[in-house]
A and B are shown apart, each in its own frame.
Chain A
């Protein structure tokens, strides 16, 4: 890809302000010391200091922890159902990391398939992703083992490389090209900039030291499906909370519940997790009472079932689950420990 422009870091407010006319610009923000992508307030540049990925994944901006599906009212004529009016703004996400962008591509497959999910897809439509490559990966990152890399530009419209005082711009999609074309106050990039960017990318790639081998992992998992001893050992320290699921950029299970106050209410969907026993609980039986079955479901869904249906492992190697698990349960250790097929 050719790079011809760059953003000078001191001009960042000017650039984002232009984009803010057309889009709802989201930047890495902090709330209560928890980082997430949130609406840029128009002047703050604190996000320029954030040199790592956010705690809350970008999925939360398209598939939020809680959203109203519709509201209803009851009057003399009966029930009347109403949809909330959709948000008119298109989103522009600034400094999305390659792993989170790849995760959106995975979620797109799930939410488009069969019956299209109107809530997720209407937010996704027209979104522009400005990727920022990772020059300082976490010790928990393993994107290079999951088909990605710190500078993987497969699913972004523009890829930015931090070369010191500037971000070098690479136009990836048509939408990215068009955006660059109509943005003012960009600087011309020099040959030395491109050389520097190349070096930055190589150094960053080598900083990802956590690696796993996922060859034939789907077959291995299928062969070990009934190996109760193995799954009991693997699941022993899990405490069945929802952290790994909720903070995973590719997990998308949800719950649907109604709220009622007198004669009006709303139906909400909210994040749910296969780690919870109540997830599959029916009044008469629960197929996953035992913790080892739930842990098995988590691992097999991501590394075997989802690939069977969609051709892609549902994990981008962002490492949030490893970093934030209260007991440091580690999916990479589990994948490496799945028995070989005999």
Chain B
């Protein structure tokens, strides 16, 4: 039938209806940056709490009932499952409503959706994570997953940047990864700032300077579309083949399950056949639509 085999995907339906959200309760709210928050949450239903599982890179549709629903990746790692996390920037109706919620508030959750990162393909390889701004959210799920299964992967390099020091997300992660001797992390900000003594420069440029080896390596890229577009040519220059470059894309979504039509790139739906894609998959298509 369609492009992607869905039969192995785990389905946690409420009442056999894929559109019905599960109720979850917010347990913690972290202010990442002005405008970005991370929410820690857990399902109200005990049974679901125990049974639920997902893969890094998958996303879910989160509801504020009565306001609407929006897709965000699950930013926590499957290897640390005492609670779940997602991060969101305040940009519109649903996110404004989410940002007004505090600990104890109830939200709707539908998921996990999407294909997730291809762990089998990544095993035994060097991993280079290239992230920008809130784009670190899906990457951090995989980074922590990789750290918790460290011997499955070779070198881990992280290049992460934001507009300014205030815009760096997950600062607690950046500190932890900095301390981890088995990882190389390079943080950067776009322009000079008095409070920043580290590297300065746009992420694609810093990637070029760090110049990780392409041999037996997979690059995983996530950030603002403009950052992704400029990162790919740099990776190609460094010798990465299109199959060695992975990204996770974002599109306007409503159903999250490949039915409502709006998140398509060609015959692929970002919600169903993605959001994780290799550069090989998308480069043919739509130079201007990802």
- Residues of chain A touching chain B, judged by Cβ–Cβ distance below 8 Å, are 69-70, 72, 74, 78-79, 81, 83, 109-111, 113-119, 225-226, 252-260, 265, 267, 269, 272, 274, 279-285, 287-288, 293, 297, 300-301, 304-306, 308-310
Contact = CB atoms under 8 A, between A and B. Distances in A.
Given A113-B258, A118-B19, A305 B267 contact: yes
A79 B65 contact: yes
B23 A81 contact: yes
A300 B285 CA distance: 12
Contacts of B16: 118
Give the residue among A259, A280, A288, A309 with the most B Cβ atoms within 10 A: A309
Contacts of A255: 254, 260
A72 B66 contact: yes
Given A79-B106, A309-B267, A256 B257 contact: no
Contact of B17 (A110, A118, A293): A118
A330 B6 CA distance: 37
B1 A310 contact: yes
Given A114-B6, A265-B65, A254 B260 contact: yes
B7 to A, nearest CB: 9
Interface in B145-184: none
Nearest to B105: A78
A282 B262 CA distance: 11
9 closest A-B pairs by beta carbon, nearest first, are: A260-B66, A305-B267, A253-B261, A283-B91, A308-B267, A115-B257, A309-B2, A114-B6, A265-B66
Report the contact-size class of chain B (Cβ under 8 Å from the partner): 35 or more
Given A109-B1, A305-B264, A281 B20 contact: no
B125 to A, nearest CB: 29
Given A79-B65, A81-B108, 12 more contacts: A78-B25, A83-B15, A114-B258, A253-B262, A260-B65, A260-B66, A265-B65, A267-B65, A279-B262, A284-B91, A304-B266, A306-B267
Contacts, number: 134
A283 B92 CA distance: 6
Contacts of A70: 17, 19-20
Given A281-B252, A283-B92, A252 B259 contact: yes
A51 to B, nearest CB: 34
B251 A304 contact: no
A304 B69 CA distance: 30
B106 A78 contact: yes
Contact of A79 (B23, B68, B262, B287): B23
| B-side interface mostly | loop
A225 B135 CA distance: 29
Contacts of A116: 18
Given A81-B23, A258-B65, A110 B15 contact: no
B255 interface: yes
B259 A272 contact: no
Interface string B257-284: 1111110101100001000000000000
A161 B56 CA distance: 57
B83 interface: no
23 contacts: A70-B20, A72-B66, A78-B25, A81-B108, A110-B259, A111-B259, A113-B1, A114-B257, A115-B11, A118-B16, A118-B19, A253-B261, A253-B262, A254-B254, A254-B260, A254-B261, A258-B68, A280-B251, A282-B250, A284-B224, A288-B289, A305-B266, A309-B3
Given A114-B2, A309-B1, A280 B254 contact: no
Contacts of A257: 68
B237 interface: no
A44 B108 CA distance: 47
**Most chain B CB atoms below 10 A, which of A70, A300, A301:** A70
A199 B285 CA distance: 49
B262 A274 contact: yes
Contacts of A272: 260-262
A323 to B, nearest CB: 24
A253 B260 contact: yes
Contacts of A287: 251, 288-290
B254 A256 contact: yes
Contacts of A260: 65-67
Contacts of B258: 113-115
B112 to A, nearest CB: 12
